[in-house]
Structure 1
């Protein structure tokens, strides 16, 4: 796939300003798109949009397909007559610059319940002439439920069962439910019909709001880069509904072999993610149907797909159950080439970016290059070695994506405040006469924009020049992540936009 030379910003929707304590798909998301457009940006990169579980990580979701309910905008629901301003008269004073998930989730859940109740009442009433817009919404809802049934019905039942006992993972549910015996599932569907209907409604509203936002971006020539995590959470609708796709213990359905990565830049003991690795032999036997469905769905809802942990499609690190770190694992081969050939055969050539960071071998590079997927370069990794460092701009190839940093890195300012003397010396040698006197974040932006990489991306934190307090995630830490927000829409000033537009145009992006 040929990508045009362009640039954009990485910002997860949770980081948008909102009076409801967490960013959402409402007015400030549209304002952010307008900022991108007037700044000459063509790309908005988001993290996975699924419903999050423990730790609130977008990479540990209850579903590989479903949307995060807490990204739904109450203001947009008010415009659809599903909420009233009086419904949030008791709105707490949420933090403006961080998401307090423990406070936000129950409050937004309460608003969604109110909206669902109104939706149901209109559906049951006969006063169509007084509720024309809501009746039209009902028709859209019916079509959504029919078209998305293949994944939606498993997900909504999973969530209803989860609500009934939130402390128990699915493999400890009563055996007939864990094993998905048809009669037992049907009985639960009848018992939990109201909760199932609620979760259907929430997913419909999420995707309705998301598609309208995506269309607004596309109308302004801005494409959305979405993220497809390589692994899914064990405690998810996907693993419960498709246990044969994963390396689980045969009787207990517990995780058999755990996913992670060996010791690397981020952690001396590696990263033990805990997700089950795949049963690739079974996936091959089914012509990768589950993976193809994932790509097919995401391709409808984003414009470009970023594959997280791409190297795991060539070979993956698996760690035996019971290990507390990722040190004692082993590499196992994966049929990545076969998978991507099948995806191309079924879905055509998709616009894919490969997150090829970590321990990268010639075999991983070959897999990436065989399918012409642009790989990643990260400027924060560029100054810790010699002139042959893969991440130094003079070593880039055109078919790559350069980042000042990612959601897993410090901010540019935070990195500079903690950089070693060696890194600073090499940095100064590298940029002498290039951007003297500019703040570090703008020097990094300039280096990225000026590079030959076809795409350049910067987290919004680096555009705003924020320090370590604005970091989104610290790998290998389970808590305290994913909460950063920028506090006010007026931080995206015309002056900032003009400055970003200037270097964007200067370097033909």
Structure 2
């Protein structure tokens, strides 16, 4: 089925409280997508963000981001008064420091009201999510008690989950544990309402899960045996990418690496639980860095760059087979960008999952792979660019004159029309799914870039500051229909 969608992070939505939320603006965006005849809304990971504010470094693989909770919806539910709502702010870049200081003050008030008289819905949520919720809430409570110190800096008895230390923490921090559980109830109540609304309007949500968990996460703390550690929850090797034309020192992510033999011995039980959770809250799941299941780049813990790493063998087909048995063969997008060996390509083919194609890469002389549109298979998802790329307009303005000239010759357009030509190339190509970032539909320049890999600061901050007009939705709908990407209107 040919279809298309728009990439738009939740945090990038407009709204009065410093960051996009699951409130009115999210529902309005669903309406915009429906008017534009789109099928998918692709977002970025929705977990609570930690160091660097990256959605790919979350405190939990299962929890939701408290920053996305909409205060107005809490007020409508009687959990906040109008006087307790913060003063509306002009829409601007996300200020995570301000959110960190201000949001918990308001959320505590709502949580106190809920916990004073817990509802059956809250109690049912806690029971249904107990497999991760209790440990996550205790993890966050300990972090708060210790001034947000990372897991690596906790006392030995707490870091290694000594029974006496755990019992004492649960008793000492019971009120804070309940607070973090209530916040997750708020998030998932609002998330599920948004998803139901989107689905009722013909929009499917495409979620994004990082392949790795954060080194400062309840996942590592709860299951250190599933990762490459020294037995005391200290990492021995960490994740990243080798040097390439885009990063001379490679990318040092610092995430824990999996103990894959242990996972395989347990029939990938933890991963099945993670993917089942993801497929319960998203309609389609994009798995970041999918090639890491075939082989992964291992960097000794403590290295300052990724240059000293080496490749290790991953679980490969055993993982794919386990996922197929647990979930069937659909509903997954494999992010297969980067260094692809024949083995990686064979694993992707065996999975049956669509890989990704990036239109910008087709004309970038630094990119060794062939991303020209004529090479795309039907079973693929094509993008002008992703959250890690500059916008198409920013690419046109910043790349070499030779690359721009090549793109214009190939797409038969003038330089000033290159963004629109790239969009049309994506929509017209044979890939069954096409996803265009909203910033590209708006022809925004590099100021709308979401993330620059291997950098700190100025990432994950872009927000939509202009209205989405009926003229824009009509234009998108026209091109979507022209290239036969409206389900039910195929040739």
1:110 aligned onto 2:91: no
Out of 274, 277, 294, which is 1:314 matched to? 294
Gaps of 5+ in 2: 486-491
1:483 aligned onto 2:478: no
Out of 208, 218, 242, which is 1:227 matched to? 208
Whether contact under 8 Å (2:8, 2:438) holds in the other structure is yes
Distance 1:83 1:28, change over 3 A: same
Partner of 1:195: 176
Gaps of 5+ in 1: 124-137
Residue 142 of structure 2 aligns to a residue in which SS?
A: helix
Per-residue deviation at 1:265? 4.0
What does 1:52-451 correspond to in 2, within 5 Å?
52-88=49-85, 91=87, 93=89, 96-123=91-118, 138-251=119-232, 253-385=233-365, 390-432=370-412, 439-451=417-429
Offset from partner CA, 1:444-477 (integer Å, 9 cap, x none): 1111000101110111110111110110000000
Partner of 2:437: 459
TM-score when normalising by structure 1: 0.92
Whole-Å separation in 2 of the counterparts to 1:201 and 1:484 = 29
TM-score when normalising by structure 2: 0.96
Whole-Å separation in 2 of the counterparts to 1:111 and 1:263 = 44
1:47 aligned onto 2:44: yes
Whole-Å separation in 2 of the counterparts to 1:370 and 1:265 = 29
Whether contact under 8 Å (1:44, 1:222) holds in the other structure is yes
Offset from partner CA, 1:343-398 (integer Å, 9 cap, x none): 21123334111111110111111100111111111011111349995211111111
Out of 13, 16, 23, which is 2:10 matched to? 13
Whole-Å separation in 2 of the counterparts to 1:436 and 1:502 = 22
Whether contact under 8 Å (1:388, 1:395) holds in the other structure is no
Whether contact under 8 Å (2:329, 2:353) holds in the other structure is no
Per-residue deviation at 1:292? 0.7
Residue 444 of structure 1 aligns to a residue in which SS?
A: helix
Per-residue deviation at 1:169? 2.3
* Alpha-carbon RMSD: 1.7
1:501 aligned onto 2:477: yes
Distance 1:33 1:226, change over 3 A: same
Per-residue deviation at 1:233? 0.6
Whether contact under 8 Å (1:264, 1:358) holds in the other structure is no
Whole-Å separation in 1 of the counterparts to 2:147 and 2:378 = 48
Offset from partner CA, 1:142-167 (integer Å, 9 cap, x none): 00000110111110000000000134
Offset from partner CA, 1:263-296 (integer Å, 9 cap, x none): 1243111100011111111111111111111001
Per-residue deviation at 1:478? 2.0
